[in-house]
Amino acid sequence: MLAWEELLVALEIGLIYGILAIGIYLTFRVINFPDMTCDGSFIFGAVVSSVLIQSGSNPATALLLSLVAGGLAGFLTGILCVWLKIEDFLSGIVIAFMLYSVNLRAMGSCPNITLVDQTTCFSAGNTLLSISLVSAGLILLLSLFLRTDCGLGLRAAGQNPSFASACGIPVRVMIIGGLVLSNALIGLCGALFTQYQGFCDISQGPGTLVIGLASVMMGENFLSRLLPKKAAHASRIPVLPALIACIGGSVAYRIFIAFALHSDSFGMKTQDLNLVTGLLIILVMKTKRTTP
């Protein structure tokens, strides 16, 4: 059985990675862009935050600049795709690939940075409360933004580019803007996670896309059971419930991992973590309600 402390840690990490899930939701659901930049922008934000804190910067300032760094990564992906006409899928891969070298150089060719003796945003106060407030604030701001004219234009550009263009919406600008916003949030997530765990490692980036997508899909699966059938399809889910579902799916994913770590009572070993976690996710997704 899981101890309360382990569940608390799973909840805290789930809330942090919920920001990553929201970023994935913005690209894959809102602007309909298969963005692979997140593997690079996540660790880019983490590296910027770690380097700044080690140099004596305020942790809050480090978070803000990590937000900017992630947005820059998304902007470069948008430029490659929209202006240079490189395939959307490949654009993100190229930027993430290049960011690996950039991150290593920023880290002084050292694969990890420790923040154990440094002051972070979680050095004082209730960690769970702080993360919850950040998550709630982001959900509120994004739900309000996506209801503005700019937000509606962003959603229209993703769902029906031809119609949006006919209505005078600058589709290319909206796609780039969506990538900037998404990767800015992912960079912020990387910075928060680094400050939370007290170190940054170059190997943390790969796999973030899988985690984010799993969280989004699990959240949508849970939400689809609560909504009427006509509104249960991913493209019809209202913005605010969808954002909350991203956070919920991320928390559920982390709890599954916590349970998988305690699967030794069933004869499983540490190396079976991904296998057990995947089986738990399949078990949940198997019962997904079909919609017309």
Average pLDDT of the chain to the nearest whole number: 86
Which residues in the chain come in under a pLDDT of 70?
A: 1-2, 227-237, 263-274, 276-277, 280-281, 284-292
Q: In one letter, which amino acid is 1?
A: M
Q: What is the pLDDT of residue 234?
A: 53
Q: Does residue 291 fall inside a structural domain?
A: no
Q: Does residue 115 fall inside a structural domain?
A: yes
- Assign residue 145 the CATH number of its domain: 1.10.3470
Q: Does residue 212 fall inside a structural domain?
A: yes
Single out the residue of 146, 138, 133 nearest to residue 29, CA to CA.
Answer: 146
Q: What is the pLDDT of residue 291?
A: 41
Q: Does residue 209 fall inside a structural domain?
A: yes
Which residues 6+ apart lie within 8 Å of 187 measured at CB? 41, 42, 44, 45, 48, 66, 67, 68, 69, 70, 71, 73
The DSSP output letter for 232 is -
Q: What is the pLDDT of residue 292?
A: 39
Q: Does residue 230 fall inside a structural domain?
A: yes
Backbone angles phi, psi at 61, to 5 degrees: -65, -40
Q: What is the pLDDT of residue 260?
A: 73
Domains identified in the chain, total number: 1
Backbone angles phi, psi at 126, to 5 degrees: -80, 115
Tens-digit pLDDT profile for residues 263-291: 665 566 666 666 766 776 677 666 554 44
Tens-digit pLDDT profile for residues 174-196: 999 999 999 999 999 999 999 99
Q: What is the pLDDT of residue 108?
A: 85
> 216 lies in which domain range?
4-286
Dihedral sign (CA 273, 279, 281, 283) = negative
Q: Does residue 233 fall inside a structural domain?
A: yes
Q: Does residue 175 fall inside a structural domain?
A: yes
Residue pair 113/200 in contact (Cβ under 8 Å)? The answer is yes
Q: Does residue 292 fall inside a structural domain?
A: no
